[in-house]
Structure 1
Amino acid sequence: MDKHTRAQSQQWFWIAAIWSAVGLFDATQNVFVMRAEGMHHNWGRLFIALLIGWLPWALATPTVLRLGRRYPPIQWRPISRWIRHLAACTAIGLISAAWTAALEKLMNPYANMPGPGTYSRLFLEKFYSGLLSYLVLYITILLASHMLDSRERLALEQTETARLNEQLSKAQLSALRRQIEPHFLFNTLNSIAGLVREKRTDAAVTMIVELSDFMRRVLEDSNRQQVPLGEELEFARKYLEIQKARFVERLQCTVNVPNDLLLAQVPTLILQPMVENAIKHGIAKRAQGGSVRILASRSNDMLTLSVYNDGPGLPANNETQTGIGISNIRTRLQSLYGDDFKLNMQNQAPGGVEVSVSVPFKE
């Protein structure tokens, strides 16, 4: 069953359910009230006549819904649209009057003696007495149609807006990613060039191999905006291996991440620029080198990643993002999480700098 057929089936189901409920209420109420007042009618026939008397309106409802969509009642002009609605209401009223008159003529539910009278008299009586109710019913269907269509249009607009926002976010993140990867690549190539000038050939070759492996993994995951924390740690370790080839014993690394957080979803390449920032602005400025520590923790529904280095602290009143890496981290987090994230860079006692990122925890 295709989508259109399924939608039509659902529409007919709800039309039948609503009008059946209306018919049951009308028949039950009239029969009980009349019996309570001591009237004497053919109660079974009366119940059936009142119940199925709503059939013309049930069958006409899809037509009214289509007219409501094609000629929205909220627009007053042109006047021809109101003439169409009035003609449709009159036609349905005539059919309804003809149907109820036929039921009364055939079933005589009110037990009139010697009979219900002529069909033409019943027809005119039903039509003129029901003019106001026909108009009210028709307007009610139009209003219900307008409300349902407005709700559907709003849902479609929200879905389309969400889709466009997702596409925009992906485009922004892809642009930022394309900015990060060459930045990292050029820095690493500069380090390799430095090793070659220093005639540290083995270290340069090791760095090239590590760089090749790192970039291959980056390209393999280029379509993913989020990855498990365990995979992100592997990226960070690969980057640290590349840097160790440059710094040798001057760079010490520590990773402290609980196993139960390894499946948490984090933005891809979120740790690498944090580690790069720690090495570039901390470790590289010290002749004796230093250490980098990667930590992860969970507090309630937030996951916090932090990278600490024991290098020089930030200047006073300058604990803000520095460089392309940290700046892009903030922009990427804004695109992915809106305002539901935290990014801090601050000095730590007795020395060193820590960059921390807090994002919603999600496995």
Structure 2
Amino acid sequence: NSIRALVDEDPRKSKSAITQLSNILRNSLQVDKQRLVLLQDEMATVEDYLSLESIRYEERLNVEFEISKRTHKVKIPPLMIQTLVENGIKHGISRLKAGGTISVMARIEGDFLVVQIRNSGVYLNNKPSKLRGYGLDNTRKRIKLIYGDQARFAIKNETENTVLTELVLPKGY
């Protein structure tokens, strides 16, 4: 809908948005059969997704990245970070009248890739199951299936208005 609204308002920007949407759809089809993808490829999808969301939220969405070059070739489950970023926008920023910030950080610590996603908002982990989505549960299951007990996943309120989602994955997969 955001793209459709842009067609008359800003045709050049709408073409760019269509390209980004095409990239996301192409990537999701390609990675559907892959067990793991390079972090740099996952981040390209995340950037396209956030560019599209920036159309929708305009000045209400601030995006920050801090991705160490050492992480680019580490393999991770496809669409995992994108799902967590989408979760932060859907359950955090979209509910805030003034909007907020989503930041994605990735670094290497020893033999592990550490990915931290911070978003404005509050994590309500006691919501009734019918109000929760499947993203977090699927993330936990995928991590357990691929990495067993070698990985960690956590989501918590870091401050009273910032949610921290953290993935710690072994980098040797």
How far off its partner does 1:259 sit? Answer: 0.8
- Residue of structure 2 equivalent to 1:339: 149
Q: 1:314 aligns with which of 116, 123, 132?
A: 123
How far off its partner does 1:241 sit? Answer: 1.1
Give the AA of the match of 1:220: Q
- Residue of structure 2 equivalent to 1:139: none
**In the aligned structure 1, how far is the partner of 2:22 from the partner of 2:84?**
21
**In the aligned structure 2, how far is the partner of 1:224 from the partner of 1:195?**
29
1:255 matched to 2:88? The reply is: no
Report SS of the residue matched to 2:149: coil
Query: Over residues 124-154 of structure 1, what are the superposed CA-to-partner deviations in whole Å (9 max), with x where a residue is unaligned?
Result: xxxxxxxxxxxxxxxxxxxxxxxxxxxxxxx
**In the aligned structure 2, how far is the partner of 1:230 from the partner of 1:200?**
29
How far off its partner does 1:237 sit? Answer: 0.5
Query: Over residues 203-236 of structure 1, what are the superposed CA-to-partner deviations in whole Å (9 max), with x where a residue is unaligned?
Result: 7945444212211122233322111111111111
1:281 matched to 2:105? The reply is: no
Contact 2:64–2:104, Cα closer than 8 Å, also in 1: yes
How far off its partner does 1:350 sit? Answer: 4.8
Query: Number of residue pairs matched?
Result: 166
- Residue of structure 2 equivalent to 1:268: 78
**In the aligned structure 2, how far is the partner of 1:251 from the partner of 1:268?**
24
**In the aligned structure 2, how far is the partner of 1:327 from the partner of 1:227?**
20
How far off its partner does 1:253 sit? Answer: 0.6
Give the AA of the match of 2:126: N
Larger radius of gyration: 1
How far off its partner does 1:338 sit? Answer: 1.6
Runs (4+) of structure 1 moved beyond 6 Å?
A: none
Report SS of the residue matched to 1:280: helix
Q: Which has the higher helix share?
A: 1
RMSD: 2.4
How far off its partner does 1:195 sit? Answer: 6.7
- Residue of structure 2 equivalent to 1:84: none
Query: Over residues 279-305 of structure 1, what are the superposed CA-to-partner deviations in whole Å (9 max), with x where a residue is unaligned?
Result: 001110111111100011222222111
- Residue of structure 2 equivalent to 1:211: 21
- The percentage of counterpart residues that share the same residue type is 27
1:232 matched to 2:42? The reply is: yes
Q: Which has the higher strand share?
A: 2
**In the aligned structure 1, how far is the partner of 2:32 from the partner of 2:159?**
38
- Residue of structure 2 equivalent to 1:245: 55
TM-score calculated relative to the size of structure 2? 0.84
Give the AA of the match of 1:362: G
Q: 1:324 to 1:301 in 2, by over 3 A?
A: same
Higher relative CO (Cα under 8 Å, sequence separation at least 6) belongs to 2
Alignment of 1:1-363 (within 5 A): 192=1, 199-201=5-7, 202=9, 205=14, 207-311=17-121, 313-315=122-124, 318=126, 322-362=132-172
Give the AA of the match of 1:307: I
Query: Over residues 328-358 of structure 1, what are the superposed CA-to-partner deviations in whole Å (9 max), with x where a residue is unaligned?
Result: 1111111111222111010012521011111
Query: Over residues 256-278 of structure 1, what are the superposed CA-to-partner deviations in whole Å (9 max), with x where a residue is unaligned?
Result: 01111111111111111100001
Contact 2:67–2:105, Cα closer than 8 Å, also in 1: yes
